[in-house]
Amino acid sequence: MAILAFVEHRDGKIKKSSFETVRAARTVADALKAECCALVIGSGISSLAKELGPYGASRVLVVDDPALAAHANLAFAKAIATVAVQQKAQAVFLPASQMGKDLAPRVALKLQAGLASDCVGINVENGDLVATRPVYAGKALVDVRVTTPVKVFTLRPNVFTATQGSGDASIETVSVTFDPADFVTAVTDVKVATGRPDVTEADIIVSGGRGMKGPEHFALLEALADVLGAAVGASRAVVDAGWRPHDEQVGQTGKTVSPTLYVACGISGAVQHIAGMSSSKYIVAINKDKDAPIFQIADYGIVGDVFDIVPELTVQLKQALGK
């Protein structure tokens, strides 16, 4: 019996959310007295395998094939399902990243398995797995059971801890046979902005709302974000107004985020926004309206002018962090 954890990598680096996934798989595997196997798929990626032992994998399975140089969702789903069957996996864990969310439904169907998406907790109760997941963008939580013999879960990034230990994994190469039909959908180009992290992956998010008064003032938030190594987020109002790109939107019709620190600047805290960020570990709110709902969920609030406070915060942080 095994728990299989799918490992995502980009530009020769394993994504943090995948280390989290492997560690979570190990925790569940220990409770079920099963083996934790990590699966790395791609071309020329064998060297990544050795990084997974310390995160809890006891075996790392590698599908290394030149045909997989460009991401192809049908081929990847096939490879994951094939390995899951070979390893008699009772559960497959994937990160709930864009790649994981794209693959998991196909993997689940190939394994005749149920899929619980975007889980924030997976517990073992009497030998069965109970997953906790947010619904309505986090306005409620549900506990779910997957009723099929094999179960598939995707795990929300930034929620599970990627604890590093001293484990060592055995590394095995696995070959999977592909057909031309597995490559009818393929990625032909990837453009990733360098610099600031994505809101779904960031440890810290500096986010702005209508209180920023105009797109030109987001430079203040970008400066603060850059001192903190943070992502820049935005409320729906400012995205709808065209001040900021869609991919920065936090809330029910944007991204649901769980960073360690969320700094809300000039954001009043509409229901749909709060739903998307209230699971942040620490929330700082800066807003001049003392009755703004954001203060009800903020750990630390400053009732004042963002244009006065944010630049000062940036300056003092720069000094404190020696930047």
Partner 1 sequence: MKVAVCINHVPDTETKIKVGSDNKSIDRTGVNFMMSPYDEIAVEEALRMRDKFKGEVVVLSLGGEKHKETLRKALAMGVDKAVLLKDEAERDSFAVATGLAAELRALAPDVILFGKQSIDFDDAQVGTCVAEMLGIPSVGVVVKIDIQDKTVVCQREIEGGHETVQTVLPAVFLAQKGLNEPRYPSLKGIMAAKSKPIEEKPAAPAESRVITVAMRKPPAKATGKIIGTDKTAVPELLRLLHDEAKVI
Residue with Cβ nearer partner 1 (69 or 271): 271
269 near partner 1, judged by CB under 8 A: no
Query: For residues 280-309, which are near partner 1 according to CB under 8 A?
Result: 281-284, 290, 295-305, 308-309
Q: What is the residue whose two structure tokens read 């500096």? A: 206
Query: For residues 48-67, which are near partner 1 according to CB under 8 A?
Result: none
* Minimum distance from residue 262 beta carbon to partner 1 (Å): 10
Query: For residues 218-247, which are near partner 1 according to CB under 8 A?
Result: 228, 239, 245-247
6 forms beta bridges with: 39
Neighbour-count burial of 40, counting CB atoms closer than 10 A to its CB (0-12 exposed, 13-18 middle, 19+ buried): buried
DSSP string, 209-262: -GGG-SGGGHHHHHHHHHHHTPEEEE-HHHHHTTSS-GGGBBSTTSB----SEE
* Size, binding site for partner 1 by CB under 8 A: 95
3-state SS, residue 132? strand
3-state SS, residue 30? helix
Using CA atoms, how far apart are residues 106 and 112, in angstroms rounded to an integer? 10
11 near partner 1, judged by CB under 8 A: no
Residue with Cβ nearer partner 1 (11 or 216): 11
9 near partner 1, judged by CB under 8 A: no
83 near partner 1, judged by CB under 8 A: no
Contacting residue, 31, 74, 171, 174, with partner 1 by CB under 8 A? 74
The token pair that represents 70 in the structure block? 């460009």
* Minimum distance from residue 64 beta carbon to partner 1 (Å): 21
Using CA atoms, how far apart are residues 222 and 205, in angstroms rounded to an integer? 10
Contacting residue, 254, 258, 266, 267, with partner 1 by CB under 8 A? 254
Neighbour-count burial of 102, counting CB atoms closer than 10 A to its CB (0-12 exposed, 13-18 middle, 19+ buried): middle
* Minimum distance from residue 300 beta carbon to partner 1 (Å): 6
* Minimum distance from residue 117 beta carbon to partner 1 (Å): 5
Query: For residues 100-159, which are near partner 1 according to CB under 8 A?
Result: 101-102, 104-106, 108-110, 113-118, 130, 134-148
3-state SS, residue 49? helix
* Minimum distance from residue 204 beta carbon to partner 1 (Å): 7
In the chain, the N- to C-terminal Cα span, in Å, equals: 50
Pattern 191-210, partner 1, x by CB under 8 A: xxx--xxx-xx--x------
